[in-house]
Structure formats: structure tokens, C-alpha cells
Structure 1
Amino acid sequence: MTAPNTLTERYVQEVVRRIPADQRTDVADELRATIADTAEAREDETPEAAERAVITEMGDPIRLAAKYADRPLALIGPDLYPAYIRLLVVLMSTVLPIAVLAVVVIDALDGDNSVGSLIGAAIGGVLTIGGQMFAWLTVIFALIDRMRRTDAAAKSLVWTPDMLPALRRAPDKGGLAAYASVVWYASLIAAIVWQHAAAPYRLDDGSQVEVLNPALWSNWIWPIIGGLAVMAALEIVRIVRRGWTLALVIAYTVADLVFALPLAWIFYDRQILNPEFLADFNGEWTTPAAFYSGAAIVVIAVSVTEAYKRFRMLSKV
């Protein structure tokens, strides 16, 4: 049964969703009773006016929830904190181990195979890469939390019931896909940067080269990385908002095009791979032109399909 969309229910919802689950029922009943009793005592006002006045006096639900939960307001607000923790856990349990493993492999390929050196490389990778992930994710969520408060209602120094959102809709069923997308985009960016910095492919003469064409770093690689970064950021916003909005879908589509069009072109123009790597890897065999043309078509097709899927999901909201 759906609760009535009244000021009281909206206020109660905004308070109880920020406190521990075992307190929610008791606090909700207490708040409803307090609001009802106090409003009833205002005999000289209409029920609606009395309800609004009582809720206004009770103040910002975020602050009231912090009192009930006996915890201070934080850098990342309680409404974003669960999503922040979930995404941090996903990144630390997937991207971080892969990145640290890559660091250890590079150290081993460089010729220092002692156990102590490899352990040191692993510890250094965990501290450096893990610290960067934690810091940047925290900054992104903190900025999102601050920007959400810059709308017209949040600019007021005095909280009013008009700031209460409507009752929350059902959870975003695509949330898991959003987490996976963030991990995927972050992994792609990390892989691109890693192969450029580490030059992981070893030629017969012992020299090491990049897998991707080094010339891309003077042009096409930047919109590709930028598009991936923006799409990852938009997926984080999608997680925070628990669903897509028209503005998010449009921004995502633009970022997807910024990523996909250059990628399709460098496939079609056969610029994607390092000629030194390709010559050594292929030997006497030549990669057929159809491979590059087909890859370019696949990139465009996937981009168009993803855009269509997001607009379709939006139409179902």
C-alpha cells in the first residue's frame, strides 16, 4: 500500500531514510504522532496550515535525522553515502587488484624478480592507486553533494517544507549495471594510460613498445579518454539520482559520440595499433582491411544501440 503524498509523509520519509533501519519504524510513528498532536493543538488554523507550520518548526529533516542517528553531518551527505560506499567497494575489489597486478607484472618484466621487490611493488601500488581512487571518488561525490544544494530551494538559509521531495519511487533496477559501467570505463582509461606508460610489449631485441599507436597521444586519444571519463562521471550521477533524466541521457549520448567517433575513425584508418607492435606480433601475416572496417562499424553500432537503450529506458520512467 502506497503512503499518501502529504507533507507529513514526505517529511517522515526524508528523516527515517537517513537513520539506521532498526530505528525507522519507531521514529516514523513518533514523528507522525508529534506532527498530528501539535497540529491539532493549533485550533485557530486550518489543518493544512497547521501541518505546514509544525513541520517548518521541526526544521530540516537532514539535521533532525542526524540527531536521531547521533552522528554529525559529513562531507558526503547521508543520502549519497551508501552509493559512495558501494561504488568505492566495487572499485577497490575489481579495478584496484587488476591495476596492482599490472604494476607487479611490469616490475617483474623489468628484470627485478626478487620476492621482496615484488611485494614492495604490490604494497606501493595498493597505497598509490588505492589512495588515488579513494581521493578522486570522494572529491566527485563531495562535489555532487554540494552542487545538489545549489538549486533555488537550497540557496535559502531557512529550510521550508517546500524543499521536501516527492515520495521516492521504486529503486533503480539498473543500478548494478551502472556500477559495472563505472568499473568498465575506469578500467579502459587505466589500461590506455598503463600501456602508454609501461610499454608492456617486448620485441625480439629486448626493447619495449606500446600496443596502441604512440602517435594517437598527439590527437585522437584525448577525446577517447575524455569521453570515457565523462561517461563514468555520468554513471556516478545516475547512481546518485537512482535513474536517468533527459539531461543525463543527452549528456551521455554526446560523451558517447565524443568517444566512439574518433575510435571508429582510427580503426577505419588503421591507426589504432603501434606499427612496431603489429609487425612483430603478426610476423609475415597481414591483418585484412575488413577487420578494421568491421571494427569501426561495430563501434558505431554499439554507440547507437547504447544511446537508443537509454532513451528507451527514459521513456519508461
Structure 2
Amino acid sequence: MTTTLTDRYVHAATRWLPTRLRTEVDAELRERIADTVAARGATDEAERATLEELGDPLRVAVDYTGRQPALIGPRLFFPWLRLTILLVAIVVPIVAAVVVIVGAFDGDSIGSIVGAGFGTAFDVTVHVIFWTTLVFAVLDWTNTPAGPETWSLDRLPEPQSTTSLSDLIASLIFLPVFAALIIWQHVGSPFAEGGEAIPMADPALWSWYLPLVLVVLALELGHALWLYRTGWTMATAWANVGLGLLFAVPTVALLLDDALLNPDLVAHLSWDPEVVTNAMTGIAAAVVLVSAWEIFDGFRRARRRG
């Protein structure tokens, strides 16, 4: 199915609206665009001229709601919204990952590491939103020029993905980092006993599981590039199912069997085996839930595009 400029424009204008209002605005906006394009000769040039004349799709959405944004004045609201979303998508995961890695270096308990990661993600999100909002509020109050419009027809998002560029950036950063950490935890673990490093994962897993994870990460990187080029389709959704199951099934099995962590590390850190078992069970449940959601979301996006 070919995605037209109108499809992308309407998606950009309605993606932040509530579901009920989104359907109504989608139909009205398409009719408005179609009538104008038909009156101008129903050519590609007429479609582009019509959309350029309508202007920023976010402003069009505000016009349909009948409410002006109040947090930041209308002049700077949309640049603020775009930048805030981009910063949260990029900065928050990076900082949270650093905190988790530092916690592992310090030998913190599993619960402390997980709690610190989620707590940091929340704190950083709050700070990013607060400071970005403050900066834009000052710019608005001082009537600083907003500069040229940041939107263009050529940069409209595809309907099948609202954050395709952010998703790609995150994948390009975290998948290679994750692969490097898998190798590093074995050859450069900060935990040692008798001058010999203690790997975090059970060394026996190098016989099959850890190489499998490295292969899955490489395939995930290819899948992210595929998505960025084509968007969500039934083909990419089914590929997402295969990759999800390829990682989740053996991972959950190992977690439930207490076979993922290196027993020597557990003994070295004097962790309570019962606490470790409970933590592994909780992580296994989280892996199942996240994998199920990602599979569902892939088909949801593919069906929405279709």
C-alpha cells in the first residue's frame, strides 16, 4: 500500500488527538484536502501546494480542537513539543543504562540495580521536561524570535510509526552497547576473587545461549533498519515475532531455572539464593510481558497502516 503525502499529513495532524476526536478530524481533514486538490486539478503538485498552504499539521490539529495550547504560548508550543519528545526518547534510556552499569560495577544487589534504573529514568524524564519547558517559557516571555518553521512536507512522519527516527537512533546506540556488555562481562568483569575475574553470566552459557543472544542483537539491528526504510508491515511484524521468541523463550527458561547468573558471582557477593530466585522469576515475568507487548504492538502498527 502506497503512503501518500496526504496520509502522512493527516497522521501528523491527528496522532496526538484522543481516539474519538482523531477519527472525526481524520475524515474531515481528508475531505477538506481532497476537495481543494480536486479544485486545483488533482495533480501531485496540487496536493503539495494544498498541504503547504494548510501549514504545520500540529497547528491544524489545534484549530480542530478549538483550544489553544496554554503551557507554552502558541508561537513556541510546537517546537517545544517536538524537542521534548526527542530528548526524552534519547536521553532517558542512555542515563538509565549508565546508572545500571555503575550499580553492577559497585556490586549492588539486583533489586537495588533495577530500582535505581527505573528511579533514574523517572527523575531524568521529569528534569528533561521541566528544564526544556523552562527554557521555552523564558524564550516566550522575552518574545525571542522563534526562527523558521521546523516542519516540512518532506519530513512528515510515516503513519505506521510515530517515532521511527528515535527508534532507529535508540537501536543504533543500545544494541551494539548491549552486545559489547555481554562480551565485557566475561572478559572484563569488575568482580574478582584471587586475582581472577568472575563473569556475571554463567560461563557455560557461551556454549549456546550467549552466542545466540549476539546473533539476535545483530538481527534486531537489521530489523530496525528495515523498519526505518519500510515501516510496519505484516512481513516486519512476523519477523518481529520470530526475533522476540528467539530471545524470550530461552531467556525465560534460564531465568526460571536459575541458570543465567554465574553461581560463583552469587557466592562472591553473598546474595541470598532465595532472593536471587525471586528476582529471576520477576525478571522472567517482565520479559514475557514486554515480549508479548512488542509482538502485539508490531501487528497493531501493521494493521493500522493497512
Larger radius of gyration: 1
TM-score, normalisation: structure 2: 0.47
Q: Greater helix share, 1 or 2?
A: 2
Higher RCO by CA contacts (8 Å cutoff, separation 6 or greater): 2
TM-score, normalisation: structure 1: 0.46
